[in-house]
């Protein structure tokens, strides 16, 4: 089973301000992205993305600043549902906290989330839509 760091995402409250910041940092973000709910920047073999909090709450309704929700998502792509299930179960067995049990998303991808030791959410994904 090959594990690849696939995406690094930042959940943002104000897309326009975030796009401005990351452009100033040096990322090439397309014009018009300021009003989009999801912005992707391909960086070699890694994708960096900004994701509007309101959009994020569609697939994880419990995530909010008031709940101590995560500001950053690290996504690791495992190719198959079975690989996602296996890795999720392995990490839970080692005592790591399950954030979201494995499930099918509306975007045709299979997700599970685990909290790392610092409380950062790690997204495990697999399936056609990833």
Residue-wise pLDDT for 45-89, tens only, equals 899 998 888 877 777 777 766 667 776 788 888 889 999 999 999
Radius of gyration from C-alpha coordinates of the chain: 15
- Domain 4-126 belongs to what architecture? Roll (3.10)
CA distance 111 to 105: 7
CB 108 within 8 A of CB 129: yes
Q: Is the pLDDT of residue 123 over 70?
A: yes
- What confidence score (pLDDT) does residue 44 get? 85
What confidence score (pLDDT) does residue 23 get? 92
Residue 119 pLDDT class (50, 70, 90 cuts):
confident
pLDDT tens digits for 80-114?
A: 999 999 999 999 999 999 999 999 988 888 999 99
Q: How is the chain split into domains, by residue range?
A: 4-126
Q: Which DSSP string do the residues of the chain spell out, in sequence order?
A: ---EEEEEEEEES-HHHHHHHHHHHT----TTGGG-SEEEEEETTEEEEEEEHHHHHHH-TT--GGGT--SEEEEEE-SSHHHHHHHHHHHHHTTPPEEEEEEE-TTS-EEEEEE-TTS-EEEEEESTT-
């Amino acid at each position: 089973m090959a594990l690849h760091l696939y995406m690094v995402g930042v959940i943002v409250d104000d897309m326009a301000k975030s796009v401005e910041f990351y452009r100033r940092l040096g990322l090439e973000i397309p014009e018009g992205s300021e009003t989009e709910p999801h912005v992707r920047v391909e960086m070699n073999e890694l994708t960096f993305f900004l994701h509007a909090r309101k959009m994020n709450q569609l697939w994880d309704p419990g995530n909010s600043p008031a709940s101590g929700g995560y500001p950053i998502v690290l996504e690791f792509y495992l190719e198959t549902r079975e690989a996602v299930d296996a890795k999720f179960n392995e990490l839970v067995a080692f005592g790591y906290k399950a954030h979201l049990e494995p499930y099918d998303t509306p975007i045709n991808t299979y997700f599970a989330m685990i909290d790392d030791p610092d409380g950062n959410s790690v997204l495990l994904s697999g399936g056609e839509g990833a």
